[in-house]
C-alpha cells in the first residue's frame, strides 16, 4: 500500500470498497503462471533473470514463493480444487501472445519457460491448464470445471499482478464468483504496478488479503 496516495485510501473507505466477502463452502485456488518464464531462476537478480527469460520478475517472484507454497498447501489440506495455469506456447504460435507484444518470441520460447518451481509444483489430480491469453478464463474450459466442481468462490495467486492475475480476477468476478486475491502470494516486475493493481482489484472485483488473513477467514465446510 506504500504506493497508494493517502487520499485515495481514505476515499476508498468512504465508498464502501473495503466490503468483506465470504469465503464459500467450496473455494478453488487458481495459481496463475508461476513458471520459470515468469519467475526466472532462483537466486539471480532481476537483470540476470530477464536475460534468461524476458518476462521474468526475478526476486519479487521468489519472495512470494513461500506464501504461494503455503497457500497451495492450505488448499491441499482442505481438499479443495487447485488449478495451475501456464502459457500455451504452442497455441500462441497461432493466436499471438497474451500481451501486446503479439508476435512469436524472437529466438523461440526459452527452454524451461513452462516449468514449475519445485516449491509450488502441481501434483497428480491438480489441473495444469494451458492458456493463450491473460485471463485463465479466456478461450479455456476453466469455467466448465468450476461449474462441475460446484465451486462458489475463487482464490487467486501468482503473476503478474498487473497482467494475468488481474485479468483472471476480473473474469472470476464477472463469472459470478466471490473472488479473493492473496497479495503476498502475487508478484510483478514493477512494485508500482503490483500495488496499483491490487488497489484496483480491491476496489472493484475482489477482496485483497494476505495469506494469514485468508487462513484466518477460512471456515471449514
Contact set with other proteins (CB under 8 A): 83, 88, 91, 93-96, 127-129, 132-133, 138-145, 148
Nearer to other proteins, 114 or 195 (CB): 114
Q: How far is the CB of 208 from other proteins (least distance, A)?
A: 27
Residue 106, SS3? coil
Residues 126/82, Cβ–Cβ less than 8 Å: yes
Overall size of the chain counted in residues: 221
Nearer to other proteins, 28 or 36 (CB): 28
C-alpha 30/C-alpha 134 separation (Å) is 13
Nearer to other proteins, 43 or 139 (CB): 139
Q: How far is the CB of 122 from other proteins (least distance, A)?
A: 12
Q: How far is the CB of 60 from other proteins (least distance, A)?
A: 29
Residues 14/203, Cβ–Cβ less than 8 Å: no
Q: In what order do the strands lie in the sheet with 82-87?
A: 127-131, 82-87, 27-32, 153-159, 178-187, 207-209
Nearer to other proteins, 70 or 142 (CB): 142
Q: How far is the CB of 128 from other proteins (least distance, A)?
A: 7
Number of C-beta neighbours around residue 220 at 10 A: 5
Amino acid at each position: 500500500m506504500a504506493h497508494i496516495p493517502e487520499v485515495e485510501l481514505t476515499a476508498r473507505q468512504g465508498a464502501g470498497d473495503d466490503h468483506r466477502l465470504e469465503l464459500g463452502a467450496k473455494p478453488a485456488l487458481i495459481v496463475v503462471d508461476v513458471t520459470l518464464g515468469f519467475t526466472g531462476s532462483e537466486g539471480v537478480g532481476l537483470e540476470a533473470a530477464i536475460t534468461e527469460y524476458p518476462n521474468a520478475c526475478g526476486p519479487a517472484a521468489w519472495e512470494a514463493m513461500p506464501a504461494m507454497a503455503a497457500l497451495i498447501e492450505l488448499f491441499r489440506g482442505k481438499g479443495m480444487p487447485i488449478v495451475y495455469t501456464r502459457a500455451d506456447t504452442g497455441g500462441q504460435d497461432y493466436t499471438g501472445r497474451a500481451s501486446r507484444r503479439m508476435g512469436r518470441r524472437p529466438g523461440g520460447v526459452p527452454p524451461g519457460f513452462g516449468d514449475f518451481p519445485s516449491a509450488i509444483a502441481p501434483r497428480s489430480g491438480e489441473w495444469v491448464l494451458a492458456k493463450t491469453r491473460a485471463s485463465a478464463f479466456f478461450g479455456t474450459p476453466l469455467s466448465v470445471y468450476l461449474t462441475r466442481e460446484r465451486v462458489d468462490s475463487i482464490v487467486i495467486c501468482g503473476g503478474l499482478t498487473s497482467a494475468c492475475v488481474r485479468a483472471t480476477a476480473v473474469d472470476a468476478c464477472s463469472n459470478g464468483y466471490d473472488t479473493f486475491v492473496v497479495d503476498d502470494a502475487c508478484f510483478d516486475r514493477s512494485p508500482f504496478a503490483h500495488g496499483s493493481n491490487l488497489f484496483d482489484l480491491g476496489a472493484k472485483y475482489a477482496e485483497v488479503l494476505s495469506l494469514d488473513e485468508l487462513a484466518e477467514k477460512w471456515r471449514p465446510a
